[in-house]
Structure 1
Amino acid sequence: MNVEETVVIVGAGQAGGEVATSLRQQGYEGRVVLVGDEAHPPYQRPPLSKGFLLGKVQLAQLYLKPEATYERFNIALKLGTRVTAVEREAREVVLHDGSRLAYDKLVLATGGRARMLELPGVDPYKLGNLFYLRSIPDVEGMRSHFVAGKHLVLIGAGYVGLEVAAAAVQLGVQVTVIDVAPRVLSRVTGPEVSGFIEGVHRDRGVTFRMPATVKGVTLDEAGEAVREVVVEQDGVEERIAADVVLVGIGLVPNTELAEAAGLAVDDGIVVDALAQTSDPRVLAVGDCANQPSAYAGRRIRLESVPNAMEHARVAAATVLGKAAPTPAVPWFWSEQYGMRLQLVGLSTGYDRCVVRGSMENRAFSAFYLADGHLIAADVVGRPADFVAAKKLVAAKAVLDPAALADENVALATLG
Structure 2
Amino acid sequence: MPAHNAYVIVGAGLAGAKAAQTLREEGFDGPLVLLGEEAEHPYERPPLSKGYLLGKEERDVVYVHPPRWYTDQKVDLRLGVRVTAVDPAAHEVTLDDGSRVGYAKLLLTTGSSPRLLPVPGADLDGVHTLRRLADSDRIKDAFASASRVAVIGAGWIGLETTAAARAAGAEVTVLEAAELPLLRVLGPEAAQVFADLHTDHGVDLRCGVQVAEITGADGRANGVLLDDGSRVDADAVVVGVGVTPDIGLAEAAGLEIGNGVRVDAALRTSEPDIHAAGDVADAFHPLLGKHIRVEHWANALNQPQAAARAMLGQDVAYDRVPYFFTDQYDLGMEYTGYVEPGGYDQVVFRGPPETREFIAFWLSGGRVLAGMNVNVWDVTDPIRALVTSGRPVDPARLADPDVPLGDLL
Shorter-chain-normalised TM-score: which range? over 0.9
State which drifts further: 51-60 or 160-169: 51-60
Report the residue type matching 2:224 in the other structure.
V
TM-score normalized by structure 2? 0.96
Is 1:191 matched with 2:188?
Answer: yes
Q: Determine the C-alpha separation between the residues in 2 that align with 1:218 and 1:372.
A: 49
1:34 match: 34
Structure 1 unmatched runs, 5+: none
Report the residue type matching 1:397 in the other structure.
R
Aligned-residue offset at 1:310: 1.9
1:412 match: 406
State which drifts further: 364-373 or 139-148: 139-148
Aligned with residue 237 of structure 1, among 210, 229, 235: 229
Aligned-residue offset at 1:360: 3.6
1:301 match: 293
CA contact (8 A) 1:365 1:385 kept: no
CA contact (8 A) 2:4 2:103 kept: no
Secondary structure at the aligned position of 1:354 is classed as strand
Aligned-residue offset at 1:387: 2.5
Structure 2 unmatched runs, 5+: none
Secondary structure at the aligned position of 2:334 is classed as strand
Aligned-residue offset at 1:149: 6.1
Q: Determine the C-alpha separation between the residues in 2 that align with 1:54 and 1:166.
A: 9
2:135 match: 138
CA contact (8 A) 1:133 1:248 kept: yes
1:16 match: 16
Alignment of 1:131-210 (within 5 A): 131-147=128-144, 150-210=147-207
CA contact (8 A) 2:277 2:307 kept: yes
Q: Determine the C-alpha separation between the residues in 1 that align with 2:287 and 2:326.
A: 22
1:381 match: 375
Report the residue type matching 1:179 in the other structure.
E
Q: Determine the C-alpha separation between the residues in 1 that align with 2:266 and 2:94.
A: 25
Aligned-residue offset at 1:358: 3.1
Per-residue Cα deviation, 1:133-160 (whole angstroms, up to 9, x for no partner): 0001112222222136611100110111
Secondary structure at the aligned position of 2:224 is classed as strand
Secondary structure at the aligned position of 1:383 is classed as coil
RMSD: 1.5
CA contact (8 A) 2:198 2:205 kept: no
Q: Determine the C-alpha separation between the residues in 2 that align with 1:356 and 1:347.
A: 18
2:216 match: 219
Per-residue Cα deviation, 1:259-283 (whole angstroms, up to 9, x for no partner): 1111111220111111111111111
Aligned-residue offset at 1:68: 1.0
Aligned-residue offset at 1:307: 1.2
Q: Determine the C-alpha separation between the residues in 2 that align with 1:189 and 1:396.
A: 20
Q: Determine the C-alpha separation between the residues in 2 that align with 1:35 and 1:360.
A: 47
Aligned-residue offset at 1:20: 0.5
Alignment of 1:263-412 (within 5 A): 263-324=255-316, 326-348=318-340, 349-412=343-406
Q: Determine the C-alpha separation between the residues in 1 that align with 2:140 and 2:327.
A: 19
Secondary structure at the aligned position of 2:314 is classed as coil
Report the residue type matching 2:34 in the other structure.
L
Report the residue type matching 2:298 in the other structure.
P
Report the residue type matching 1:346 in the other structure.
Y
1:71 match: 71
Aligned-residue offset at 1:85: 0.7
Report the residue type matching 1:195 in the other structure.
Q
Q: Determine the C-alpha separation between the residues in 1 that align with 2:204 and 2:391.
A: 39
Alignment of 1:78-97 (within 5 A): 78-97=78-97
Aligned-residue offset at 1:326: 4.5
CA contact (8 A) 1:148 1:172 kept: no
After superposing on structure 2, the runs of 4+ consecutive aligned residues of structure 1 that deviate more than 3 Å are none
Structure-2 change in CA distance of 1:278 and 1:4 (3 Å): closer
Q: Determine the C-alpha separation between the residues in 2 that align with 1:413 and 1:155.
A: 43
Q: Determine the C-alpha separation between the residues in 2 that align with 1:150 and 1:410.
A: 47
Report the residue type matching 2:386 in the other structure.
L
CA contact (8 A) 2:265 2:317 kept: no
